[in-house]
Amino acid sequence: MKLPAHVDEQTFANRLERFRIETPSWGYGDTGTRFGKFLQDAAATTIEEKLADAAEVHRYTGCCPAVAVHVLWDFAPGIDLRSVGQSAEELGLCIGSINPNVFQDQCYKYGSVANRDPAIRRRAVRHILDSVEMGRQVGSTLLSLWFADGTNYPGQASIRQRKRWFQDALRQVHDALPNDMTMLVEYKPFEPAFYHTDIADWGMAYVFAKQAGPRAKVLVDTGHHLPGCNIEHIVAFLIDEGMLGGFHFNDRKYADDDLTMGSIDPYQLFRIFHEIVGAEVERGHDLDIAYMVDQSHNLKPKIEAMIQTVMSAQEHLAKALLVDHGALARAQEREDLVLAERILKDAYETDVRLLLAEWRQRRNLPADPLLAFRESGYAERVAKNRRARKPASTDRYA
């Protein structure tokens, strides 16, 4: 398939080559909702199995060498952290972002770093600092922070005081970071807190990160926005401020559904990549952004869903690389709204699957990673070994 005349073939191929997207360890294990979970025979049960599954995704896509880990879900007490890093390396992987957990234990019922009890605040900060050290031991350069802190009812707590406790905690963590580690601050408008969430939107995350220090940035989870929110506007603003640190890619229909990337609003995903590519064209270099997946594959097969996600990310980046920025700038200068929008739509509506298939084959990758994985029989093989370790059915009428 031939590229449009305004697109340089080598520039296009090189940008795709440099694109990396981190997959999450928890995306390979059994997951569910607050109502329960449905087990899959092939789902991973240990960090070793999660790394093995992530290696399969990287094998077929060629762009997923990093695996995010969740401290309490992946690192059992007494685990040899260096061996985890070594196991990842032997599989051609590395440990990506470190994700502390300050929302699961019973002591965090009324919050973690914004808890009224100073002992609980200290415990939460200590866990995050321990996670920083764990990250150092496994070679991670990213600390990814999401907090469930908030309140459920008006009058429950002082919102201003909780803000100040958050500021103090994030400064402590930032000051303890190794020189090569970046702290990413995530936000979410609601859930599990129903009245107010302490870091509810990108502006709050921006303020907290800015106050924490120069190695703190904002993490945008594409599912963590209210319906109708213009996410690409947020992305563009944070890029221009030098505060966009990373993404948790997923999709949602109503709220934080953690659906497969691009499954509900693929045009929005394209528009996000367009803002990134546009800024890179303007500056003449890639932006330093950590691209990460954060999805809950409750029903889809784990590895297949991850490969499908990665392919979607590549497709939408490729579409964004097809935008004619020169023509777009001229249309914008003339206030030609129709043509400007058409330039974006022309790139978005281009079927880039053949382009990507040819590009993959030149890199000795399968033209269709998902089909190649299905044909490998890997899922069927590991399911036989893992099935025996799964809990027995709890169906009441089984």
For residue 236, the model assigns a pLDDT of 98
For residue 397, the model assigns a pLDDT of 57
For residue 195, how many other CB atoms are within 10 A of its CB?
A: 14
Question: How many domains is the chain partitioned into structurally?
Answer: 1
CA distance 127 to 119: 12
Question: Does any domain span residue 298?
Answer: yes
Q: Which domain holds residue 109?
A: 10-389
Question: Does any domain span residue 398?
Answer: no
Question: Does any domain span residue 5?
Answer: no
Question: Does any domain span residue 3?
Answer: no
The enclosing domain of 144 has a CATH number of: 3.20.20.150
393: Cα separation from own chain's centroid: 32
Q: Which residues pair with 32 in a beta bridge?
A: 37
For residue 394, the model assigns a pLDDT of 60
Question: Does any domain span residue 277?
Answer: yes
Residue type, 174: H
Please work out, in degrees rounded to the nearest 5, the angle formed at the alpha carbon of residue 345 by the alpha carbons of 342 and 350.
130
Question: Does any domain span residue 396?
Answer: no
Tokens of 354: 């053949």
Question: Does any domain span residue 397?
Answer: no
What is the Cβ-side half-sphere exposure of residue 158, based on CA atoms within 13 angstroms?
A: 8
For residue 398, the model assigns a pLDDT of 55
CA distance 3 to 9: 7
Residue ranges for the chain with pLDDT beneath 70:
392-398
CA distance 79 to 70: 14
Q: Minimal CA–CA distance to 112: which of 82, 148, 80?
A: 148
DSSP string, 15-82: HHHH---BEEGGGSB--EETTEE---TTSB-SHHHHHHHHHHHHHHHS---EEEEEHHHH--TT--HH
Name the 3-class secondary structure at 144.
strand
CB 181 within 8 A of CB 136: yes
Question: Does any domain span residue 2?
Answer: no
